[in-house]
């Protein structure tokens, strides 16, 4: 569905859509992306520092990472996320990791939906 909706952007070389294991995927090189966007995948990353370091390496200078995650408190209340597959992270932990990796302009917006709260987070590579 995402590929179909973004077909022209993909054809023009403006968008790449990737589905798979982020940690083990070999991307084309370092410093090649202006923006990296992901939604609801952070829970499957065992080592956040390693993953955000890889994102940092993939971004150009002043590149931006933008992502959405459900609040840890909400994940703890949901039955299907109470397995070893789902890692639950607090927004404070995310901000600290981004800061430790020298991201700047770290911002987040709290998103309140009907059944849960989440965060839209953005940060810029120095």
pLDDT, one tens digit per residue, over 50-103 is 999 999 999 999 999 999 999 999 888 888 788 888 889 999 999 999 999 999
Residue 36 lies in a domain: yes
Q: What 3-state DSSP class applies to 97?
A: helix
Residue 22 lies in a domain: no
Could you list the residue range(s) of the whole structural domain that residue 62 is in?
31-125
Is residue 124 within 8 Å of 103, Cβ to Cβ?
yes
Nearest to 36 by CA among 65, 14, 12, 15: 65
> In the numeric block, which tokens belong to residue 24?
């083990």
Residue 26 lies in a domain: no
For 3-54, what is each residue's pLDDT tens digit?
888 889 889 988 888 787 888 888 877 888 999 999 999 999 989 999 999 9
H or E segment to which residue 61 belongs? strand 59-70
Count of the separate structural domains present in the chain = 1
Residue 2 lies in a domain: no
CATH assignment at residue 78: 3.40.50.150
Residue 19 lies in a domain: no
| Beta pairing class for 59-70 and 33-39 | parallel
């Amino acid at each position: 569905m995402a590929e179909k909706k973004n077909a022209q952007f993909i054809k023009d070389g403006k968008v790449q859509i990737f589905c798979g294991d982020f940690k083990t995927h070999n991307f084309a090189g370092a410093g090649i992306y202006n923006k990296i966007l992901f939604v609801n995948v952070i829970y499957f990353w065992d080592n956040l520092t390693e993953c955000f370091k890889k994102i940092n390496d993939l971004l150009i200078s002043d590149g931006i990472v933008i992502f959405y995650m459900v609040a840890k408190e909400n994940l703890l209340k949901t039955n299907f996320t109470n397995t070893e597959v789902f890692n639950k992270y607090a927004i404070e932990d995310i901000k600290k990791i981004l800061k430790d990796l020298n991201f700047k302009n770290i911002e987040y917006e709290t998103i309140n939906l009907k059944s849960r709260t989440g965060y839209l987070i953005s940060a810029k590579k120095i």
